[in-house]
Amino acid sequence: MIRIEELVYRYDREAPEVLRGISLTIGEGMHTALIGPNGCGKTTLIKHLNALLLPASGSVLVDGMATTDAGAVREIRRRVGMVFQNPDTQIVGMTVEEDVAFGPGNLGLPPAEIRRRVDDCLAMVGMTGFEKRPPHTLSGGEKRLLSIAGVLAMDPRYIAFDEPTAYLDPAAKERVLAIIERLRRQGMAIIHIAHDMRDIAAVDRVAVMDRGSLVAEGTPAEVFGRAELLGSIGLDIPAGVGHD
Ligand SMILES: Nc1ncnc2c1ncn2[C@@H]1O[C@H](COP(=O)(O)OP(=O)(O)OP(=O)(O)O)[C@@H](O)[C@H]1O
Ligand SMILES: [Mg+2]
């Protein structure tokens, strides 16, 4: 599991705290949604899960390994995959297959195993047949699927998705949500930053952030039932979500 304890972070020593003492545990196989108004610190929080950012105080432990332990960072990054909001920041290969092969190549895996992972992960996201395509010729939705395939190719135990349906048309959105649901059924632990509450109506747990703090946590029904709290921090819950 991932244990976040009393996590405090600021981007600059002089700057205000962006995370103000967050404690949260992410169990294996759990689908956790993270919601909160713009700028509350959601992306900053998930960047701590694989040591892209390190706590000013407090700690983040991934399966018992501290993200501040330089010797553990490689293993932590293998276990915790990160699908960023903008797939362009994540694409490194000249072709789709090269891109997916990049992570497993870095792990030093044998070529046959890399090939197997590339084929499996492209199949998993429905992109078989795209192997030789240069990524810049892909649509936004296809780039998102490619970035997911690249993360899956590392065979992670946890994946954090930062607004995975942002900027996608409804069909691409459905495909991405179906992939996330399939991963959850396969036992992957998922941390899912969401803007549209309809995307997370069926998760195991919702954590709500506001101005760097965790302000609520519970099942979707429990959290979406707290209309007053959500309204007070500027989140609106579309009709039909959170009500049976
Ligand atoms: N690289 C950075 N340097 C300085 N400040 C930053 C940096 N990245 C984010 N911030 C600030 O930290 C705060 C939290 O930002 P963060 O991106 O984590 O929020 P968020 O909840 O993901 O927002 P959004 O919903 O808009 O994606 C904001 O005030 C933001 O301006
Ligand atoms: Mg963000």
With beta carbons less than 8 A apart as the criterion, state whether 111 and 189 touch: no
> Measured from the CB, is residue 169 less than 6 Å from ligand 1?
no
| Ligand 1: nearest atom to the Cα of 45 | 18
Write out the two tokens for 190: 């998922």
Mutation pick for ligand 1 pocket among 43, 86, 211 (CB with most ligand atoms within 8 Å): 43
pLDDT classification of 241: cutoffs 50, 70, 90: confident
Measured CA to CA in angstroms, residue 50 lies from 150, 207, 243 at distances of 16, 19, 35
> Measured from the CB, is residue 11 less than 6 Å from ligand 1?
yes
Tell me the C-alpha distance between 59 and 57, whole Å: 7
pLDDT for residue 242 is more than 70: no
Of all protein residues, whose CA lies closest to atom 30 belonging to ligand 1? 39
> Measured from the CB, is residue 44 less than 6 Å from ligand 1?
yes
Tell me the C-alpha distance between 186 and 216, whole Å: 27
| Ligand 1: nearest atom to the Cα of 85 | 27
pLDDT in tens, 37-48: 999 999 999 999
pLDDT for residue 87 is more than 90: no
Helical packing angle, 111-124 and 140-152, nearest 10°: 140
> Measured from the CB, is residue 165 less than 6 Å from ligand 1?
no
pLDDT in tens, 105-159: 999 999 999 999 999 999 999 999 999 999 999 999 999 999 999 999 999 999 9
pLDDT for residue 244 is more than 60: no
| Ligand 1: nearest atom to the Cα of 209 | 21
> Measured from the CB, is residue 86 less than 6 Å from ligand 1?
no
Tell me the C-alpha distance between 152 and 158, whole Å: 10
Q: Which residues pair with 7 in a beta bridge?
A: 22
Tokens 């976040």 found at: 4
> Measured from the CB, is residue 42 less than 6 Å from ligand 1?
yes
**Tell me, which fold does domain 2-232 have in CATH?**
Rossmann fold (3.40.50)
Counting ligands in written order, which one lies closest to the CA of residue 35?
1
Of all protein residues, whose CA lies closest to atom 4 belonging to ligand 1? 11
Tell me the C-alpha distance between 219 and 94, whole Å: 42
Counting ligands in written order, which one lies closest to the CA of residue 36?
1
pTM of the model: 0.95
Tell me the C-alpha distance between 154 and 78, whole Å: 6
| Ligand 1: nearest atom to the Cα of 12 | 4
Tokens 């209309």 found at: 227
> Measured from the CB, is residue 177 less than 6 Å from ligand 1?
no
Between these two residues, 206 and 236, which has the higher pLDDT value? 206
Residue 174's contacts (CB-CB under 8 Å, 6 or more residues apart) are none
